């Protein structure tokens, strides 16, 4: 029986692709590193460090950290480009009374906090939030979903995951969870 609902953030609860692409473009440009939006879209869902290895391998670690910090700042400035998935958010609001809930994302704490405070200010929709800093491996590794189930105090078989990407669905399946693919 399902007792917990787990939601991905980017591409599931919110369409943040434009804001992320613009923020990364601005951050890379300011740091003087070449950025490919097409390459980024192919890597969407990876943690920042893994993405950087693919987009700009051998970049000085200080520059990588600078890009990460700049991206978070530019992301806040681009939140008007984020589109909430109103239907799924309304479902979450209704379901919160009957299920445990978790947000499970590869996004950084800074970006998650910026997005949630901008769109859900004052709403406490999640019992647990798993961010990139909470896990060692990113999706498709199931670590993030297993950790969410553990923190919620439920068995993975009791979880239903809402995801938009193949790597996210693969992570949910590998964790032994049911899933629904969400498209925006």
d(CA 17, CA 10): 7
Q: Which of 8, 38, 155, 170 is catalytic?
A: 8
Residues 71, 94: Cα–Cα separation, whole Å? 33
> Contact, 147 vs 135, CB < 8 A?
yes
Comparing CA positions, the residue from 49, 44, 53 lying closest to residue 9 is 44
For tokens 């009791």, what's the residue? 158
For residues 16 and 160, what is the distance between their CA atoms, to the nearest angstrom? 23
Catalytic, 10? Answer yes
SS (H, E, C) 39-68: HHHHHCCCCHHHHHHHHCCCCCHHHHHHHH
Q: Is the Cβ–Cβ distance between 175 and 146 less than 8 Å?
A: yes
CA distance readout (Å), 20 to 39, 56, 79, 135? 13, 17, 9, 21
Report, as residue numbers or ranges, the catalytic residues.
Answer: 8, 10
């Amino acid at each position: 029986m399902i007792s917990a609902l787990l939601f991905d953030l980017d591409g599931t609860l919110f369409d943040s692709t434009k804001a992320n692409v613009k923020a990364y473009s601005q951050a890379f440009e300011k740091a003087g590193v070449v950025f490919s939006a097409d390459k980024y879209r192919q890597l969407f869902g990876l943690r920042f460090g893994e993405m950087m290895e693919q987009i700009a391998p051998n970049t000085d670690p200080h520059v990588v950290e600078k890009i990460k910090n700049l991206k978070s700042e530019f992301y806040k400035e681009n939140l008007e480009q984020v589109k909430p998935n109103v239907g799924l958010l309304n479902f979450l609001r209704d379901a919160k009374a009957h299920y445990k809930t978790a947000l499970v994302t590869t996004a950084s704490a800074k970006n998650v906090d910026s997005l949630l405070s901008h769109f859900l200010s004052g709403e406490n929709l999640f019992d647990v939030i798993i961010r990139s800093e909470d896990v060692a491996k990113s999706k498709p590794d199931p670590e993030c979903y297993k950790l969410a189930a553990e923190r919620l105090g439920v068995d993975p078989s009791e979880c239903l995951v809402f995801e938009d990407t193949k790597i996210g669905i693969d992570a949910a399946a590998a964790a032994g969870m049911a899933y629904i693919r969400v498209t925006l």
